[in-house]
Chain A
């Protein structure tokens, strides 16, 4: 089995008296989709925030590609190849879809202390951005302001932005949130196609998607990882069934 690319161990995060992350260890191997599930309020987003550098864990360490990144700021982690998409769609609303992806490309194209040349004529940014939009099926909407895209299209744009730097690992925070059945199926197919090239940590409420995509699943309840294993093992796990699947939340 390949070495984990992303490995967090012993993460603890407290907010006052509440333990949002309670001694969680989780890892993702290259070419693997590791899904993180759990009821609302289980601390999934808090955990991802610590992995991306948006929050600092109180204790515990995070390693990525052999480096200790526990104290690296968010932008430095992205530069190392750890990209994320947001649960709540987070695109630059007043910029066009193409501009959004081009900015994502720019983030990985050296420094941006360039004051004179027009970015919109910079093929080294526009070209890869156009291909990125094509890849997620948004090519026709390139010149539409992101604010005018449908919800599903904005989710696709999110993915295109996350993929722009050709990251080695993706943290996907509910990529299918708010999508229709058809859109979801397309996204599932798309993510399956990506998986050979990079590892993914997938947070998702849509259980069909999780069981279709995941190689491993970790179940988070009240900040604790109560189970971790293959989809079949998770399905069979009594504690999980009681705590989560049995609730009919899915």
Chain B
């Protein structure tokens, strides 16, 4: 469907408006003097990149990886450790971080993709926990407390300390990730991944070495996850094992399911909904009674159950039927 035609559908219109708001978010937060909102907006954009990367394997490929936040950690720690040792250039940090995330994904994928179902979930979780505990044991890099780092430097290109510039960088990378995902899902590679989700035996009987394609998808997904980790470390100028705890991996799955598995924009919808609900439920509950805000997930949980029961395609399915 052409871009113009897609604007005539409710889904296309909502998505276009959403992207427009995201594109000018720094201007809006400045105009209304709400700097804090820009920080949330930045985290939403970064998390959306991670969620899209998880959706590549979870949504399109049916691979339920329960350790995706590990790529936050690997991307983040690669940047943080290099920065700690005086390597400040993003031109060095970023490629190293992406390569590290890619290699780790290839290794984990090569071992875990030999299993199915619950075993796959458990193995991906186990590998993520392994890295989590290694991170917590790195005394030189703050162990459990984490480490304050200086942001990546791209001299003459972009000042990462400027909140608006950094936001726009993240937004541009989000658009790039969305673009890639839209191509990949309808390219030969994506069709093999989606076909294998639908009927693995059939795909093998057609002559596809399914394992190889799944491994490639898993690795690709890890690379984009690593990118999100780089950005997350730069956003807070801080790394800690908490960024790759299993809770974050769970949040990423929730976001993808909430937004709509195997849809292009679902992970973005899901991330926005997740953060907006978190940020608004907390103060709302605190208004009801001081201290209740901490338990916002008591309200969030039932909402997820409702989505799972009544909107199986997630938020994306609320905008009407999908085409293609």
Contacts and interface: CB of A to CB of B under 8 A. Distances in A.
A138 interface: no
A86 B202 contact: yes
Interface in A75-124: 75-76, 78-79, 83-84, 86, 90-95, 99, 103-104, 106-108, 112-120, 122
B186 A118 contact: yes
Query: Is chain A's binding surface mostly helix, strand, loop or mixed?
Result: loop
A65 B173 CA distance: 51
Interface string B202-213: 111111111001
Nearest to A79: B207
Nearest to B262: A94
A59 to B, nearest CB: 24
Interface of B: 180, 183-184, 186-192, 195, 198-199, 201-210, 213, 216, 324
A124 B40 CA distance: 47
A104 B206 contact: yes
A109 B202 CA distance: 17
6 contacts: A75-B208, A93-B199, A103-B203, A103-B206, A113-B216, A114-B187
A75 B210 contact: yes
B43 to A, nearest CB: 28
B255 to A, nearest CB: 23
Interface in A140-186: 161, 164-165
Contacts of A94: 198
Given A52-B205, A75-B208, A103-B191, 14 more contacts: A91-B199, A91-B202, A93-B198, A107-B203, A107-B208, A108-B207, A112-B213, A115-B180, A116-B183, A119-B186, A119-B187, A120-B186, A120-B324, A164-B206
A54 interface: yes
Contacts of A116: 183-184, 187
B207 A113 contact: no
B264 to A, nearest CB: 14
Contacts of A164: 206
Please classify how large the interface on chain A is, using the bins under 10, 10 to 19, 20 to 34, 35 or more. Answer: 35 or more
Interface of A: 52, 54, 73-76, 78-79, 83-84, 86, 90-95, 99, 103-104, 106-108, 112-120, 122, 161, 164-165
B187 A117 contact: yes
B208 to A, nearest CB: 5
B204 A117 contact: no
Contacts of B189: 112-115
A153 B12 CA distance: 35
A77 to B, nearest CB: 8
A120 B186 CA distance: 8
A89 to B, nearest CB: 10
Contacts of B207: 75, 78-79, 107-108, 165
A172 B205 CA distance: 12
A114 B188 contact: yes
